[in-house]
């Protein structure tokens, strides 16, 4: 009987270890990136378009998997219509007209793909490049922190009505639809007057909108840009963006959960591009201080730079900070991984280092790995106060210098990478690095 109990306990322990998961960084007993993501999207051929989308879609419309659709110019879903997209549907952004799709305020998009049959927005060209087409805009009537609580997109979209580019309102629970198991590839066109488009722009959307299992890859602008609203982003992936991976502004009240950003020094812009940018305004005088400042709560993120020679790329100025925190914001990140940056975090120089501000910016149970420097204030080379604060055992942060092979399960798999931490392979201390270390 004793031998039976010992055998049973052995198998129970083995089973529990087999299903164990690391609590920091992206989590899951299995790799949730499998099946629906694509880390080599330029190799796929989607066929010629069979249907054209142009102008306004003013009534309920369904896009079907059997067709391939071409976004010709700037396309708007208007008049409170719902655009439903079947799983497996392919939508091509036209290269010549820099096609884009905007879901106007009051309308909805139901793009509910599946893990085995995702919905794909991509370039119409056979030789796909960053910025081939515009991107996807979803506009809602949740609050902004600007005067009047309503704004308009400023991207030069060609529309017959300014109502088609208006966003913002008072409904925190507004519902702009579902984005689930979708990929957005090679978006982010550039215009001389307005700059880069984003892969996915969420402007004033409410918390009833579902944004989950979304991958934005090879975007010339920001991968995901959140402008106000009350967003919940879960299991989202930004891959090889030229600009920022996730940007939050205009009083956004956002949750970013179990999500991933993968940067490449050879593709990302070397000037001012980061994994996360958190701001409350572009021009302070345009913000209404009586309204909520931007708040981002991040849980179980993995932010990583993939480099063949990180030390060399840092010395050449190709690697930037992972997170930039602007003035007058609240930001918290918990149980996350920040690996391979210079430095890990930069705070705006307008942020005064006092208890009130530091209590609004929280780093807890986070794993800082292979970063040349950790948390700094812009323009300041001495970060002793920040090291003392965030290095306290009360925050339970860890600091290490592990290679990608030691840190992640299978980060170098070019087809199906696994960026979950290796269970029980974290070797770290509660001390910040010496920035003068020759290994940096």
Give the rounded percent of residues in the chain with a pLDDT score beyond 90. Answer: 77
Q: How confident is the model at residue 239 (pLDDT cuts 50, 70, 90)?
A: very high
Mean residue pLDDT across the chain: 90
Report pLDDT digits (tens) over 196-226. Answer: 999 999 999 999 999 999 999 999 999 999 9
Q: Which residues contact 124 (CB under 8 A, 6 or more apart)?
A: 49, 70, 92, 93, 94, 95, 99, 132, 133
Predicted pLDDT of residue 26: 97
Q: Is-contact 338 373, C-beta < 8 A?
A: no
Total number of residues shown for the chain: 440
Residue 414: predicted pLDDT: 85
> pLDDT exceeding 70 applies to what percent of the chain?
91
Cα 206 to Cα 142: distance, rounded to the nearest angstrom: 5
pLDDT of residue 430 exceeding 70: no
pLDDT tens per residue, range 332-348: 999 999 999 999 999 99
* Per-residue confidence band for 17, with pLDDT thresholds at 50, 70 and 90: very low
| Res 4 pLDDT > 50 | no
What pLDDT band is residue 424 in, cutting at 50, 70 and 90? low
Name the β-bridge partners of 167.
Answer: 151
Per-residue pLDDT tens over the stretch 160-181:
889 999 999 999 999 999 999 9
Highest mean pLDDT among 184-198, 205-219, 383-397, 425-439: 205-219
pLDDT tens, position by position, 131-161 = 999 999 999 999 999 999 899 998 989 988 8
Q: What mean pLDDT do residues 66-87 have?
A: 98
pTM above 0.85, yes or no: yes
> Does 306 score more than 60 pLDDT?
yes
Q: What is the pLDDT of residue 120?
A: 98
CA dist., res. 9 & res. 14, Å (int): 9
Q: What is the pLDDT of residue 15?
A: 40
Backbone conformation region of residue 382, classed left if phi is above 0, alpha if psi is from -120 to 50, else beta: beta
pLDDT the model gives residue 268: 78
**Separation of first and last alpha carbons in the chain:** 57
Task: Tell me the per-residue pLDDT of 246-273, one tens digit each, with 9 for 90 and over.
Answer: 999 999 999 999 999 999 988 877 677 8
Look at strands 210-217 and 200-203 and give their pairing.
unpaired
């Amino acid at each position: 009987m004793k031998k039976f109990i010992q055998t049973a306990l052995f198998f129970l322990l083995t089973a529990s270890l087999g299903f164990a998961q690391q609590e920091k960084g992206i989590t899951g007993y299995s790799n949730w990136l499998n099946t629906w993501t694509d880390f080599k999207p330029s190799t796929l051929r989607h066929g010629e378009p069979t249907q054209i989308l142009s102008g306004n879609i003013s009534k309920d419309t369904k896009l079907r998997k059997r067709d391939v659709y071409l976004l010709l110019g700037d396309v708007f879903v208007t008049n409170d219509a719902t655009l439903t997209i079947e799983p497996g549907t392919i939508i091509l952004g036209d290269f010549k007209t820099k096609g884009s799709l905007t879901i106007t305020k009051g309308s909805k998009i139901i793009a509910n793909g599946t893990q085995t049959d995702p919905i794909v927005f991509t370039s119409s060209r056979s030789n796909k490049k960053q910025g081939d087409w515009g991107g996807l805009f979803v506009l809602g009537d949740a609050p902004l922190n600007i005067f009047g609580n309503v704004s308009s997109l400023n991207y030069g979209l060609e529309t017959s009505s300014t109502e088609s580019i208006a966003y913002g309102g008072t409904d925190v629970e507004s519902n702009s639809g579902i984005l689930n198991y979708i990929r957005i590839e090679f978006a982010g066109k550039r215009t001389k007057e307005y700059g880069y488009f984003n892969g996915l722009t969420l402007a004033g959307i409410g918390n009833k909108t579902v944004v989950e299992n979304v991958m934005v890859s090879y975007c010339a602008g920001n991968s995901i840009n959140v402008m106000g609203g009350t967003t919940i982003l879960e299991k989202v992936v930004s891959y090889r963006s030229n600009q920022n991976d996730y940007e939050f502004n205009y009083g956004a009240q956002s949750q970013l959960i179990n999500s991933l950003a993968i940067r490449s020094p050879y593709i990302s812009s070397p000037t001012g591009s980061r994994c996360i940018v958190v701001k409350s305004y572009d021009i302070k005088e345009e913000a209404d201080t009586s309204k909520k400042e931007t708040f981002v709560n991040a849980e179980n993120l993995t932010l990583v730079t993939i480099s063949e020679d990180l030390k060399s790329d840092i010395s050449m100025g190709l690697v930037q900070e992972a997170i930039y925190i602007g003035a007058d914001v609240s930001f918290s990140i918990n149980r996350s991984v920040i690996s391979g940056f210079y430095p890990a975090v930069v705070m705006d120089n307008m942020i005064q280092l006092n208890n009130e501000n530091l209590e609004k910016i929280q780093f807890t149970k986070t794993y800082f790995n292979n970063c040349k420097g950790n948390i700094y204030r812009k323009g300041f080379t001495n970060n002793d106060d920040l090291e003392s604060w965030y290095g306290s055992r009360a925050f339970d942060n860890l600091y290490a210098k592990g290679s990608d092979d030691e840190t992640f399960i299978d980060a170098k798999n070019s087809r199906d990478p696994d960026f979950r931490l290796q269970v029980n392979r974290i070797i770290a201390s509660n001390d910040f690095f010496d920035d003068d270390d020759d290994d940096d």
